[in-house]
Amino acid sequence: DTGVSQDPRHKITKRGQNVTFRCDPISEHNRLYWYRQTLGQGPEFLTYFQNEAQLEKSRLLSDRFSAERPKGSFSTLEIQRTEQGDSAMYLCASSLDLFSNEQFFGPGTRLTVL
Amino acid sequence: AQKITQTQPGMFVQEKEAVTLDCTYDTSDPSYGLFWYKQPSSGEMIFLIYQGSYDQQNATEGRYSLNFQKARKSANLVISASQLGDSAMYFCAMREGISDDKIIFGKGTRLHILP
């Protein structure tokens, strides 16, 4: 399978714990995006990377959130001191470059904070 | 103000009928792109169709077409000959400007195809 992959698919954690999600984009895709989707809503943009450079961060991305793409390939999204409001689906997408119209989405990681 | 508005939270349509999902958008940028994505119950977002603001013709992809009315800031999705597998959430989305790469999504419309 050569699509976007995300790991884990589901994560249940207790409030206050740290969690880390991984996203592997489609090979040779330069751009990588993170979105968050809560129940009954469309995805909301969090941040995106051009290769290893983080180009934009949403105001939704509080200081408890950090994202990295160290070698311009896979990316990680870490949430520190999780809160119940962090419960959501975290979606990763990738695109070939700036001029690509389509972002290819992964299956998502569903986070439940108890 | 909402950038993307989808006024139909849910729709029920008989199999084989055509269906129109409404979407209006708000932007002052002359350059933008409009998207429709499908999200089945399994959760993955599936790209359906794209329309650029400067495109003269309405976009079409198989059974999907985008009814682009620029003056009305409307970008409705038309699905012809609906199938049971079309049952899903459908999201309208927009990317503003040339260099801004994030996509802004609407709240979605849940489509139910009846046998």
Residue A2 has pLDDT above 80, yes or no: no
The confidence score (pLDDT) of residue B2 equals: 74
* Pair A22, A76: CB distance under 8 Å: yes
Q: Would you call A31 an interface residue with chain B, using a CB distance cutoff of 8 Å?
A: yes
- Whether residue A107 and residue B43 make contact (CB cut-off 8 A), yes or no, is yes
pLDDT tens, N- to C-terminus, chain B (115 residues) = 679 999 999 999 999 999 999 999 999 999 999 999 999 998 889 999 999 999 989 999 999 999 999 999 999 999 999 999 999 999 999 998 766 678 899 999 999 999 9
The confidence score (pLDDT) of residue B98 equals: 67
State how far the alpha carbon of A112 is from the alpha carbons of A41, A75, A89, B5, B92, in Å: 16, 21, 9, 28, 26
The confidence score (pLDDT) of residue A83 equals: 96
The confidence score (pLDDT) of residue B102 equals: 83
* Pair A47, A54: CB distance under 8 Å: yes
The confidence score (pLDDT) of residue B100 equals: 66
* Pair B93, A37: CB distance under 8 Å: no
The confidence score (pLDDT) of residue B99 equals: 63
Residue A56 has pLDDT above 90, yes or no: no
Q: Would you call B68 an interface residue with chain A, using a CB distance cutoff of 8 Å?
A: no
Residue A16 has pLDDT above 70, yes or no: yes
The confidence score (pLDDT) of residue A60 equals: 81
A49 contacts in chain B (CB < 8 Å):
none
The confidence score (pLDDT) of residue A1 equals: 55
The per-residue b/e assignment along A79-88, b for 16 or more CB within 10 angstroms, e otherwise, is: beebeeebbb
Residue A39 has pLDDT above 60, yes or no: yes
Q: What is the pLDDT of residues A74-111, one digit of tens each?
A: 999 999 999 999 999 999 999 987 677 788 999 999 99
How many Å is the Cα radius of gyration of chain A? 13
DSSP state letters, A27-84:
TT--EEEEEEE-TTS--EEEEEEETTEEEEE-TTS-TTEEEE-TTSS-EEEEESS--G
Interface test with B, best of A37, A50, A54 (most B CBs within 10 A): A37
